[in-house]
Chain A
Amino acid sequence: MTTDTAPARGVPLIDGIEKVTGRARYTADLEHRGAFIGRILRSPVSHGEIVRLDVSRARALEGVVAVVTGADCRHPYGVLPVAMNEFPLAHDKVRYRGEPVAAVAAVDAETAERALRLIEFEVRELPAYYDADSARAEGAVRLHENKADNLERAVHHVFGDPAAGFAEADLVREAALDCAEVNHAQIEPHAALAEYDPLTDRLTMQSVSQVTFYLHLMLARCLEMSESQIRVIKPFVGGGFGARVEVLNFEIVTALLARAAQGRVLMELSREENFLTHRARPQTRVKLKLGLKRDGRITACECEVVQRGGAYAGYGIVTILYAGALLQGLYDIPAVKYDGYRVYANLPPCGAMRGHGGVNTRHAFEVLLDRMARELGLDPFEVRRRNLLRAPTRTLNDLMVNSYGLGDCLDRVERASGWHERRAHMPPGKGLGMACSHYVSGAAKPIHWTGEPHAVVNVKLDWDGSITALTGAPDIGQGSSTMVAIVVAETLGLPLDRIRVIAADSAVTPKDNGAYSSRITFMVGNAAIDAARQLKQRLIVAAARKMGQKPDEVECVGGVFQSLVVPEAAMTFTDAVKEALVDQGTLTVKGTFTCPPESQGGKHKGGAVGSTMGFSYGAQVVEVSVDAATGQITVDKVWVALDCGYAINPLAVQGQVQGSVWMGLGQALCEETRYLEGLPAHASLLEYRVPTIVESPPIEVHIVESIDPLGPLGAKEASEGALAGFAPALVAAVANAVGVDMDALPVTPDRLIEALVELRRRARRQAQSGAAP
C-alpha cells in the first residue's frame, strides 16, 4: 500500500509556534540571572600521566566560587554498564587533547576564564596514537590497562556457510572503503544549567540531553546522591542526531560545580568544545567481499570493519555490533561472516550518530553490490529485487521482520526518477545512481535492563476537559511530542488542540529511556495509544451508565458518545467527562508498551544489538552533475522512498526523511573531521563543512506504508532509515557520470580530481600497451 507524495497531509509541530516566535527556551535561554558561570580546563596533550594539578591559585581568585577536579568524582561513568571507563574530569591520565581535567565556577565568565589560567597542570607525555593501525601495532602503549592491543571489542560472527556460498557464486569481488569521521554538528551548542540547594540537598539539572533518564542515573552515580534527590528537566533542545544520546562530561561537571558552589551554575560550551565533546560516527575502514550468482542473487557476504573509536568506550561496543548486525535485515543473504574491531585512539571519543553503526557498512555493501551488478550487466534495481526478503521472516542473525516495503520503495523511486528512460542517455558529466538502506525502530533490548516496560505514558483527564499526555520521551526537534498528541487525539476521536503534551521532566513525567535508536514512535506511540484506549473506555463506561446503555453499545465518534442501539441517546464529551469524574475525581491512566521476547534478538553474543520491533526501509536515486575540471559535484535532485509502516504525521515524515538524506549528503560530499597530532583542525562550522542551502538539492519524498502489525497505527521509524542510502547512491551516480569508482568518503573535489587523473593515466597506459602489444 502506498500514498501519494505531495502535498503532505499532516499537522505542524505542537510546539512550532514557540519555535517560530523565538519564545522557545533552550538551555542557554533559561533564566539564569545570578547563576555562576562554569568553565572547563582541558588537557593540552593527547596522552599522558598527570604529574601535578594545583588549583589553589584559581581557588584563591576573587569571584571564584568553586573548583573541581577528578578528585571530586571517584566513579567512572558511561552509557553501557559493561564499559564505564571515563571520568567526567580526568583521573591520573589524560587520553585525548581536550579532555576535561578541572573546572571552575565564578561570578562571571571572565573571572572563570582567568581562574583556568591559574591552574597549574603538569603531564608526563606518553606515546599517542591517532589511527587504528598504530594503536593496534605491537608494542603500542595501552590507553586502558585492561585492553590489550588497544582493542575495545572484537566481534566475530558467522551465520550460515560463507565458504559454500562463495563456492557457489558466479562472481566474487572485494572492496575496501574508507569513511571519514563525521560529526553531528547540531546547531545548538551544548549547555547545562544545574542548581543545587544545600538546604534540601536537592539537585535540579536542565540540559540538552536526548537521554534524560541516563543523565539522571549518572548524576546520582557520580555525585553519590540518591536518585530521588535529583530532578532532570529537558528544555527545548536544538537537535541531537546522537550527539546527546549518552551522558556527556560537561553535564556531570556542571552538577559537580553546582554542588561545590552550593548554588546555580550555567555551563555553555563553545563550538570548538562541542567538537571535542562530539561522540560521533567513527572513522571506519570496511573490507567487504560479496558472492553473486549470474542472475544477481547474493550467495555470501564477508565483512571486516575497523572503527577508530577514540579514547573512551562510550557506545563503542554497540557501534561495532550494529555495523555487523545491520548487514542483515535489508536483503535475503544466505551466509554472512563478520569481523569487527573497535579500537582506542588518543582522540575525542566517538559514539552514536544517526544511523548508528550501520551507515558505513551499508555504504560499502551498496557500493560493491552496484559495481558487481555492472560487471554482470544487471540493472541496479534488478539486482536488489533479486534479493528481497519476504515478511514475516527472521534473518540469519535472528532479527524479526514483520513488515517489508522495500519492493514498493524501489518501484516508487525507479518510476519517479525516470530511471530507465534517462540513465542510459545522461548528458556528459551527469549521472544517476541508486541505493537502499534500512534502520531499526528502537532497540528491542534496552541498555539498562530492569524488567520494566519499554515505554510508559500517563494520560490525565481533569474537570476542565483537557487531556494532558505525560511522557519522558525527549522531543529534540524530531516531533515526538507531536506524535504523542496525534495518536492520543486519534484514539480518543478528539481534535488535536484538546491535547497537551508534557515531556521529559523527571518530577512530572514517567521514566523513558530516551530519544535514540528511533525508538519513540514505536514504543512511546504504542504506550500512548494504550493509555488513550483505557481513558476512552473509562469515558464510554461513564457515558453508558448515564444514558442507561451497555458500554459495548456506546461508541465515541468526533467527541460525541453515541448509543449504537438508541439513536437519540448521545452525550457530549464535556458531559461524559463530568460523569466519569463522579466519585473518581481527576483521572490518570497509564499506558505501557513492552517489546515481546521474540523481537529481542538472537542468543549469540551481542545478539541484542540490531534487534527491533521493525525496520524502516528506504530506496533512493541521486542525480549528479560532475565538473571534471574542478572535481565539484552538484547534486541536482534526490528521489527517496521510505517505508515507515504508516505515516502518523506525513508532514513530519517528509521532514525527517529529507533531513536524514541531507545528512547523508553531508557525509558523502564534504563533512570530515581532521586532527593534527590530536588537535582538531575542523573545530568550527567554517572548517567542518556542512552543506549550506546553496548546495542542497530538492529531495522528493515518497512515503510507503507497509502497515507493521505491531507498530502504533502500523507505524515504524522515519528519521534514520534513509540516511545510509545517500552516499552509495552518490558514488554510483559519480561512476555513472564520469566513470570513476570512489573508495573514500567524503567525495571531495580533490579526491575526485585525483581519481579522474588516475583514470586518464590508466586509459593512456592501456592505449599505449594496446598500440604496442
Chain B
Amino acid sequence: MAELDQPEPRKRLVRLRLNGTWREDAVADDELLVDYLRENVGLTGTKTGCDGGECGACTVLIDGAAVPACVTLAIRCDGRSVETIEGLADGGRLHRLQRAFHEKLGTQCGFCTPGMIMAAEGLLRRQPHPSDAEIRTALSGNLCRCTGYVKIIESVRAAADADG
C-alpha cells in the first residue's frame, strides 16, 4: 500500500498580476499554471489539448512572453505578470488580433485559437511588423487542425497592419 501513501503537496501563497490585477492564491507546489487558471480562477479560455507541451493550446503570456501554461508551475509565476485570452479585449472592444481572427476566419473550431492569439500577441509585442517567416516561427508550437494555417497567417498579418 506504500504507493498509495503519497504526501499531500505543500501549498504556498502566490501573488501574481493576472490580466492586470494583482491577486493572491494558495497554490500547491506541483500545480500547473493551466490548472490554476482553469480550476482555481475559472479562466477557461486557456485550453488543455495534450498531455504536456505538445500542442500550444494553453499558451499565455508571462511578463509579455508566450509560454505554454501546461508545462509551467503556478508557483513560478510569483511576482510576475500573467496574461490570458480573457485579458485581451479592452473596454468592450475586441483586441486587433481577436478582430482579425474573427473577420478573416483564423478560427474554425476555436479550440486552438486562444493559445494561437496569445502566441501571436507575444510576437507582435516584440516585433510589431513581422515577416511571414517570423509569424511561422512564432506560431510553430501551436497546432491547429482546422485551417491549414493559411487564414491564421492572414489574420496575424492583418492585425499587425491594423492600428493599435
Report A's interface with B, CB cutoff 8 A.
Answer: 12-13, 15-26, 28-29, 110, 114, 117, 184-189, 236-239, 241, 268, 270-272, 476-479, 651-652, 654-655, 658-659, 661-663, 665, 684-686, 690, 692-694, 696, 698-699
> With A and B bound together, what is the CA distance between A271 and B152 in angstroms?
24
A24 touches B110 (CB 8 A): yes
Instruction: Please indicate the chain A residues that have their CB under 8 angstroms from the CB of B97 in the complex.
Output: 20
Is B105 at the interface (CB under 8 A from chain A)? yes
> With A and B bound together, what is the CA distance between A19 and B88 in angstroms?
13
- In the complex formed, the residue of B with least CB distance to A651 is B105
11 residue pairs A–B, Cβ–Cβ below 8 Å: A12-B103, A20-B113, A184-B145, A187-B111, A241-B145, A477-B108, A662-B148, A684-B51, A693-B135, A694-B137, A699-B150
- In the complex formed, the residue of B with least CB distance to A241 is B145
- Taking the closest CB of chain A, its distance from the CB of B27, in whole angstroms, is 16
Known: A21-B94, A696-B148. 10 other contacts (CB 8 A): A16-B105, A19-B107, A22-B46, A29-B44, A187-B57, A238-B112, A477-B108, A651-B105, A659-B145, A693-B136
B109 touches A239 (CB 8 A): yes
- In the complex formed, the residue of A with least CB distance to B97 is A20
Q: Given that A29-B44, A187-B143, A655-B108 are contacting pairs, would A21 and B85 also be in contact in the complex, using a CB cutoff of 8 Å?
A: yes
> With A and B bound together, what is the CA distance between A654 and B150 in angstroms?
10
A186 touches B51 (CB 8 A): no
- In the complex formed, the residue of B with least CB distance to A479 is B108
- Taking the closest CB of chain B, its distance from the CB of A634, in whole angstroms, is 13
Within 8 A of A (CB), among B73-119: 84-86, 88-89, 94, 97-99, 101-103, 105, 107-114, 117
Q: Which of B55, B112, B137, B149 has the most CB of A within 10 A?
A: B149
Contact of B101 among A20, A110, A187, A238 (CB under 8 A): A20
Q: Given that A20-B117, A271-B51 are contacting pairs, would A693 and B149 also be in contact in the complex, using a CB cutoff of 8 Å?
A: yes
- Taking the closest CB of chain B, its distance from the CB of A410, in whole angstroms, is 22
- In the complex formed, the residue of A with least CB distance to B87 is A22
Instruction: Please indicate the chain A residues that have their CB under 8 angstroms from the CB of B55 in the complex.
Output: 187, 271, 685
B105 touches A654 (CB 8 A): yes
Within 8 A of A (CB), among B42-82: 43-51, 53-55, 57
B49 touches A693 (CB 8 A): no
> With A and B bound together, what is the CA distance between A699 and B151 in angstroms?
10
Is B162 at the interface (CB under 8 A from chain A)? no
B86 touches A476 (CB 8 A): no
Contact of A655 among B43, B48, B151 (CB under 8 A): B151
Contact of B149 among A13, A479, A662 (CB under 8 A): A662
Instruction: Please indicate the chain B residues that have their CB under 8 angstroms from the CB of A684 in the complex.
Output: 50-51, 54
A693 touches B142 (CB 8 A): yes
Instruction: Please indicate the chain B residues that have their CB under 8 angstroms from the CB of A188 in the complex.
Output: 47, 49, 109, 111
Is B18 at the interface (CB under 8 A from chain A)? no
- In the complex formed, the residue of A with least CB distance to B118 is A22
The 6 closest A-B CB pairs, nearest first, are A22-B45, A477-B109, A662-B148, A19-B110, A238-B111, A22-B85
Instruction: Please indicate the chain A residues that have their CB under 8 angstroms from the CB of B103 in the complex.
Output: 12
Contact of B150 among A23, A25, A694, A696 (CB under 8 A): A696
Instruction: Please indicate the chain A residues that have their CB under 8 angstroms from the CB of B43 in the complex.
Output: 22
Q: How many residues of B contact A (CB 8 A)?
A: 57
Q: Given that A12-B103, A186-B109, A477-B110 are contacting pairs, would A21 and B152 also be in contact in the complex, using a CB cutoff of 8 Å?
A: no
> With A and B bound together, what is the CA distance between A609 and B144 in angstroms?
31
Q: Which of A22, A185, A239 has the most CB of B within 10 A?
A: A22
- Taking the closest CB of chain A, its distance from the CB of B155, in whole angstroms, is 9
B102 touches A187 (CB 8 A): no
- In the complex formed, the residue of B with least CB distance to A243 is B145
B86 touches A22 (CB 8 A): yes
Q: Given that A189-B48, A684-B54 are contacting pairs, would A19 and B105 also be in contact in the complex, using a CB cutoff of 8 Å?
A: no
A659 touches B148 (CB 8 A): yes
- Taking the closest CB of chain B, its distance from the CB of A705, in whole angstroms, is 19
Q: Which of B3, B55, B108 has the most CB of A within 10 A?
A: B108
> With A and B bound together, what is the CA distance between A736 and B108 in angstroms?
34
- Taking the closest CB of chain A, its distance from the CB of B30, in whole angstroms, is 11
> With A and B bound together, what is the CA distance between A479 and B105 in angstroms?
10
- In the complex formed, the residue of B with least CB distance to A31 is B42
Instruction: Please indicate the chain B residues that have their CB under 8 angstroms from the CB of A238 in the complex.
Output: 47, 49, 109-112
- Taking the closest CB of chain A, its distance from the CB of B88, in whole angstroms, is 8
Instruction: Please indicate the chain A residues that have their CB under 8 angstroms from the CB of B45 in the complex.
Output: 21-23
Q: Which of B48, B51, B110, B144 has the most CB of A within 10 A?
A: B110
Contact of B140 among A21, A270, A694 (CB under 8 A): A694
A16 touches B107 (CB 8 A): yes
Contact of A271 among B50, B86, B137, B144 (CB under 8 A): B50
Is B160 at the interface (CB under 8 A from chain A)? no
Instruction: Please indicate the chain B residues that have their CB under 8 angstroms from the CB of A186 in the complex.
Output: 109, 111, 145
Q: Which of A19, A20, A239 has the most CB of B within 10 A?
A: A20
> With A and B bound together, what is the CA distance between A239 and B140 in angstroms?
20
B4 touches A114 (CB 8 A): yes
Instruction: Please indicate the chain A residues that have their CB under 8 angstroms from the CB of B6 in the complex.
Output: 110
> With A and B bound together, what is the CA distance between A24 and B44 in angstroms?
9
A18 touches B149 (CB 8 A): no
Contact of B146 among A12, A110, A659, A692 (CB under 8 A): A659
B146 touches A477 (CB 8 A): yes
> With A and B bound together, what is the CA distance between A760 and B49 in angstroms?
44
Q: Given that A12-B105, A26-B47 are contacting pairs, would A187 and B3 also be in contact in the complex, using a CB cutoff of 8 Å?
A: no
Is B33 at the interface (CB under 8 A from chain A)? no
B105 touches A22 (CB 8 A): no
Q: Which of B3, B45, B113, B145 has the most CB of A within 10 A?
A: B145
B152 touches A693 (CB 8 A): yes
Contact of A693 among B84, B88, B98, B153 (CB under 8 A): B153
Is B127 at the interface (CB under 8 A from chain A)? no
> With A and B bound together, what is the CA distance between A110 and B4 in angstroms?
10
> With A and B bound together, what is the CA distance between A768 and B110 in angstroms?
59
Instruction: Please indicate the chain A residues that have their CB under 8 angstroms from the CB of B147 in the complex.
Output: 655, 658-659, 662
Instruction: Please indicate the chain B residues that have their CB under 8 angstroms from the CB of A272 in the complex.
Output: 51
Is B16 at the interface (CB under 8 A from chain A)? no
Instruction: Please indicate the chain B residues that have their CB under 8 angstroms from the CB of A271 in the complex.
Output: 49-51, 54-55
B94 touches A20 (CB 8 A): yes
A658 touches B151 (CB 8 A): yes
Instruction: Please indicate the chain A residues that have their CB under 8 angstroms from the CB of B85 in the complex.
Output: 20-22
- In the complex formed, the residue of B with least CB distance to A268 is B48
Instruction: Please indicate the chain B residues that have their CB under 8 angstroms from the CB of A23 in the complex.
Output: 45
